[in-house]
Amino acid sequence: MLLDYNSLLLAVGFSAACLSLTLFGTWLTARTDKFLLTWAISVMVVVGEVFVYDAYIAKPGPALGVATLALLLLGFSVMLGASHQFRTGRSPLPRIVLGAGISFAFTLPPMALGYDGLGFISENFFAALLLFGTAYEYWRGRREAPVHLIGVALLYSLTAASFVLCSAMLVLGGKLVLGHAPSNWAEDLNLVIVIAAMTGIGGLSLALNQGRIARHHQREAQTDALTGLLNRRALFDLHGKTPVGAFTAVVVFDLDGFKAINDQYGHAAGDEVLKVFAAELTASLRPNDIAARMGGEEFALVLKRTMPEMVEATAERIRAALAVRTIETETGQMRCTVSAGFAFGSNEGVSFDKVLSAADKALYAAKRGGRNRVLDFRRAG
């Protein structure tokens, strides 16, 4: 039976090593996803634990025992940090330090003092806590990709439960001093579950990462790099094929004298003006409103479930906020104004392109009328 257990243990080690190398290689192709590197490190630490534990099985002793426990708990603490980093994008270090610090404090002293049975009980208990914590992090982030993340959370939970079972079997055995590595059916089951879960978690996580990369590329293709707003293509993808109803309005804004700003203050100043105006737009949006940069100094808003007086008030608020704002640039302070025109759909529904064209006509009428004003298409003629 010992040979079978050793074979399973080495299978865990080699499988984990392959997974770690795969994660590291994936991180090299997408370095924005730093959690992959953290996760690769955590798995490699567990690989180290597997081979140290194999040495401990052959020759039990406090030094190898402490090293075994420390590596496993450190690996799972880093894994917890990686899951938090995946969900939030924040540093994994606080959770790594907290997880490793608490688990080391309760687990390593008994092993160092020769109470290896108590050490293994504590190790399995804290390993389970760290894995449940990791499962919870993925569960909290499940909205991003429900099927993948719920699957990952369940597999981590199943692995954690197998460590609880190992701890329970040692508690039932009632021995604080073993003098050898734990050997029972729960330990064998734990290794089988770890191998299966590792394969499943690896496959799901890599698929999840590929989906995240694809969504990132899609966002880049649909987002204006300077302002962070949707671009013209994205706006038409969202609204171009749907008839615009009577309670949906399109507002088109155009910064006044923008070419003169670029000529007088430089293109860097012009970019700053565009970013400032984009911020004014987004600050005035309701949850279902859409803002986009159409190109150059032209922007658009799509306002749903609204009335003409509400649209005019929103556009006026944006216009007035920009008019009184002092914009800091590298070449000095400046002010800028904006003109706007808006139009509505109809009860029968009209194409988005036609409503946008009507709003454009109102905009140019506002320009002809002196700029720095908002005009309704119905009053533009």
Q: Which residue from 51, 60, 40, 38 is spatially nearest to 12, judged by alpha carbons?
A: 51
pLDDT at 178: 92
Q: Which residue from 154, 134, 144 is spatially nearest to 207, judged by alpha carbons?
A: 144
Query: What are the residues facing 301 on neighbouring strands?
Result: 251, 291
Higher-pLDDT residue of 152, 103: 103
Does 139 share its domain with 28? yes
pLDDT band at residue 39 under the 50/70/90 scheme:
confident
What confidence tens digit (pLDDT) does each residue in 67-93 have?
999 999 999 999 999 999 988 889 999
Number of domains in the chain: 2
Does 276 share its domain with 331? yes
Q: What is the mean pLDDT of residues 195-224?
A: 73
pLDDT at 2: 42
Does 122 share its domain with 147? yes
**CA dist., res. 62 & res. 340, Å (int):** 77
Q: Give the end of a domain, one of 195, 222, 249.
A: 222
Does 51 share its domain with 76? yes
- Full residue range of the structural domain in which residue 271 is found: 230-379
Higher-pLDDT residue of 23, 280: 280
- If one counts every other C-beta atom within 10 angstroms of the C-beta of residue 164, the result is 18
Q: What is the mean pLDDT of residues 353-366?
A: 92
pLDDT at 146: 87
Q: Give the end of a domain, one of 222, 256, 278.
A: 222
Does 159 share its domain with 36? yes
pLDDT at 3: 43
Q: What is the mean pLDDT of residues 3-13?
A: 63
Contact residues for 167 (Cβ-Cβ < 8 A; gap 6+): 120, 121, 124, 125, 128
338 phi and psi, to 5 degrees? -140, 145
Does 204 share its domain with 237? no
CATH number of the domain within which 307 lies: 3.30.70.270
Of the chain, the percentage scoring pLDDT greater than 90 comes to 46
Does 131 share its domain with 254? no
What confidence tens digit (pLDDT) does each residue in 265-283 have?
888 888 999 999 999 898 8
Does 266 share its domain with 217? no
- 49, 84, 94, 162, 273 from 100: Cα distances, Å: 14, 15, 10, 20, 49
Does 23 share its domain with 131? yes
pLDDT at residue 32 greater than cutoff 90: no
Does 211 share its domain with 243? no
Q: What is the mean pLDDT of residues 107-136?
A: 95
pLDDT at residue 1 greater than cutoff 50: no
CATH number of the domain within which 91 lies: 1.20.1070
Put simply, whether the predicted model's pTM sits higher than 0.75 gets the answer no
Q: Report the amino acid identity of residue 112.
A: A
pLDDT band at residue 27 under the 50/70/90 scheme:
low
CB–CB of 252/356 below 8 Å? yes
